[in-house]
Amino acid sequence: MKRWFFLVLLLLVLAFTAWTSMAQVEPGERGVVMRFGRVVNTVGPGLYIGLPWGIDRVERVAVDRVRRITLGFSDSESDDFGPTVPPGQLLTGDHNLVNVQLVLEYAVNDEEATRFVLYGDQADGLVGRVAETALAEWVAGRGVDEVLLRGKETLPRWLVAETQKRVEPYGLGVHVQVANVSHLYPPRQVKDAFEAVTRAQTNILTQEFEARQEADARWSEAQAYKFRLEKMTDVYAKGVKNVAQAEADAFRKRLSLMEQVRKENPYYLAALWWDEMTKVYAAMRAAGRIDLLDNRLAVDGIDILQSPIAPKKK
């Protein structure tokens, strides 16, 4: 009986030793082998066989898992003004209070899993404290209007870069990926006043945008009207110039022709002039405005030698 008992006990010890000497590292995990509490090796996915329990311990780190930390104000907290300030209620640069809550996401670097294992459960708390410090600094360096109006847009990018820079000296072996602002409001006591200010500012921005749109539209219409006027003026000026040029050319040709004809016939111009003026005088005589002096014409022009007839004596 004793022999069988020791044999069974030996088998159990061997089975326990074999079982504690093996560790299964799943896909997406990194196994950190620690011997007597000191890191000696890292292994990838697969079955690891080492020394039994009490000597080797394999810490499995999920390097493909996104870890999330919620920081700041909680909706379950009371934001009543009292002797203690609730978490996430921060003071802005112009001495106003805001409630901020954000979710920070980070992952473990595959090559630096050993660093993360050394911190263990303290890693989340350390990353959270660093992020909260950076958050308080960002809020304190800006006015309440900038924090409330632009915080959800500008804060996440700044917080990711700043938190990553500040955790590097600790050697955590993590990479901060995303920060989402889930809550960014003034305290409940002044929330209505801030919302009224926000609506007024939004209305101002809307009116400014509409005014700029109208100004741009009117400017475009004025530019189009100016362009049309310039084109019309250019066309009109070219037309007048062309007409004047044509008339000048025609006048010069006619003048040259008349000078040539005058050399051949000295009376040509007088005949031409009387031909044209007779028409004018005929119309004027019909209207009773002139008396023709055709009987006074001579070769050298109008010949009037007689004096006016003296009135008859009574």
Domain ranges of the chain: 17-62, 67-186, 190-263, 265-302
Cα–Cα distance between 218 and 227 in angstroms, integer?
Answer: 14
DSSP 19: H
Q: Is 314 helix (H, G, I), strand (E, B) or coil?
A: coil
- C-beta separation of 103 from 159 below 8 A: no
Q: What is the separation of C-alpha 42 from the centre of its chain, rounded to a whole number of angstroms?
A: 47
- C-beta separation of 163 from 171 below 8 A: no
Question: Looking at domain 67-186, which of 3.90.930.60, 3.30.479.30, 3.30.70.100, 3.20.20.70 is its CATH number?
Answer: 3.30.479.30
Q: Is 309 helix (H, G, I), strand (E, B) or coil?
A: coil
pTM of the model: 0.53
Helices (H) and strands (E) in the chain, counts: 6, 11
Cα–Cα distance between 155 and 139 in angstroms, integer?
Answer: 9
Task: Output helix, strand, coil percentages for the chain, rounded to the nearest 5.
Answer: 55, 20, 25
What digits encode the pLDDT tens for the residues 202-244?
889 899 999 999 999 999 999 999 999 999 999 999 999 999 9
State the chain's mean pLDDT as an integer: 77
What digits encode the pLDDT tens for the residues 233-280?
999 999 999 999 998 988 888 878 777 777 777 777 677 777 777 777
pLDDT of residue 95: 85
